[in-house]
Chains A and B, each alone.
Chain A
């Protein structure tokens, strides 16, 4: 289209509003530009087809529809090390960044959290057209690349593979990305505050979560969720070694498990049902059924309308329940040791992940003691009082006091993980076993990471009469918990347990400040998608 034609078209449309006119004009211009570009490209291609000696070395092949099973071995980027120097290798990766400079083009190829610098330069292997093609591939596209691994003299600071670069000889696009990305990966990994000074952008949380599929590609997200998987794995591994049995519990239940508040109602054919707030009842039933030591990993639902940094409406619960012989500390020790094994496993096997996250979100390394420090509630209150806080013996810890106590414990014992034992009976649920020596206290405990509660547990009352008595004391309708009480009527071993939230543990271990960062697709009162 030419400009004159444009004008002619405009005349015809004079009746339309000015806005529409402008819009149309713009679109027309766009179309013109596009056509222009295409024409140019075609022209170029024409010229190239005549003289491009490298035309078989690049391009966009047919979509992979599983047509063939080539014997080509793809090397992973993390394996591109100086040992591979001077070898010709195939690599599949995303275009992380690209920068054309005269007769050469620098690409950064990325696979998961690893990246390497690559170079296409005009020479006997690559033509001018090939360099141009490489430079024009949209960021985030997936490519297959063949090239020679070369050692570099100067370390490439911006890449994970610092000692080598890839000299590309062939490049094919496997999956092309849209030219415009909803967020830039470099922006998404920039540390908070660093963007402000240099006038560069950081990405706000909602944008990240709306475009989670791209956000999850960042090195930080990759590291966070790899570490999270590690926590799950270590949890399962440790408990299996300790002789625990993994169980699955139903998530659709007929009655609210804990009191009834904060529970989601779902329609269930002609009646309604609830989403489980905790697998506690089922864990306890398994104990009564002689499984002795059980754990389960599964979703837990809380209809709490609180938009805080640490509340989700759906999260993954890691729950433990265990029968013990004589003292509930047998259980506390097992749970604490499981946590310590997880922390040790993370410390020893996830160093790179922790470092990667620290680059964007700096935090002190997570410190812990083995065996875990166990303080009594009274001691905690005494420490707070010594620090000038006024509180009653049987008063529950407020969140600020909880955090302050965490700091005090950290300062004295230098641990980010500790247990507070023997809570006042008054602040615990009705099924908590009272302390045999002091009726004001109970056989219950909380565990803390970096001053935030991650686990709340107790020796449960396994005697139906005492349970009934405690329920009446708490003004709980006995009819509603009849099934719960009845499960202890046929002989029940003494038992205790507790549960932790996977997202919260990941967040606190890494010293992050929002649980949404450690939930892949977080659910909170304001977010149901993606």
Chain B
């Protein structure tokens, strides 16, 4: 868990084009990631650090351009921590996927029509889950798969994660 979070932050740094100077550690039972800033202050928590990095890279548009947009982004960042980060998330992954599939039915990104930090962190968070899905399930959650495939093909997002194969054509269309 902790390892994954740190890797995720490292990948995010690379995506944002930041030079790797930040030092990370973890704390507590659930190994929450901690970022030690130069002036000795600790920034705690995956989402908090991620937002900090985005600002440090001067890519604030990833947090939403208007107040409304940033509210949506914040909401999905919270979802990422609460729903995908929680213990037992693996068991609930199917119902999570069902919900996300419904949500993404008419959206390109989690924010709607713009790429945000939420997409990147959701991508990192859902990766292990997508790897485990069978081809048939990937087709069943077609909207999630479509979004996932789109995000993983964006330049520099994929980083440390292996590419998940998403089929271009549906092959289970006629199955009863």
Contact = CB atoms under 8 A, between A and B. Distances in A.
Given A362-B176, A388-B164, A388-B165, A408 B171 contact: yes
Contacts of B43: none
A400 B132 CA distance: 13
Contacts of A486: none
Contact of A388 (B135, B171, B175, B176): B135
A362 B174 CA distance: 11
B167 interface: yes
Contact of B171 (A363, A389, A400, A407): A407
Nearest to B165: A388
Interface string B127-150: 000000011100000000000000
B169 interface: yes
B175 to A, nearest CB: 8
Interface in A361-400: 362-364, 387-389, 400
Interface of B: 134-136, 164-165, 167, 169, 171-172, 174-176
B39 to A, nearest CB: 46
A381 to B, nearest CB: 15
Given A400-B134, A404-B135, A387 B174 contact: no
Contacts of A410: 171
26 contacts: A362-B176, A363-B176, A364-B174, A364-B176, A387-B135, A387-B165, A387-B167, A388-B135, A388-B164, A388-B165, A388-B167, A389-B135, A400-B134, A404-B134, A404-B135, A404-B136, A407-B135, A407-B136, A407-B171, A407-B172, A407-B175, A408-B171, A410-B171, A411-B169, A411-B171, A511-B176
A198 B172 CA distance: 29
Nearest to A362: B176
Contacts of B176: 362-364, 511
Given A407-B135, A407-B171, 8 more contacts: A362-B176, A364-B176, A387-B135, A387-B165, A388-B167, A389-B135, A400-B134, A407-B175
Contacts of A411: 169, 171
Contacts of B171: 407-408, 410-411
Contacts of B134: 400, 404
Contacts of A408: 171
A504 B164 CA distance: 35
A405 to B, nearest CB: 10
Contacts of B164: 388
Interface string A340-376: 0000000000000000000000111000000000000
Interface in A280-318: none
A237 B50 CA distance: 73
B142 to A, nearest CB: 15
A321 B96 CA distance: 53
Contacts of B174: 364
A407 B138 CA distance: 14
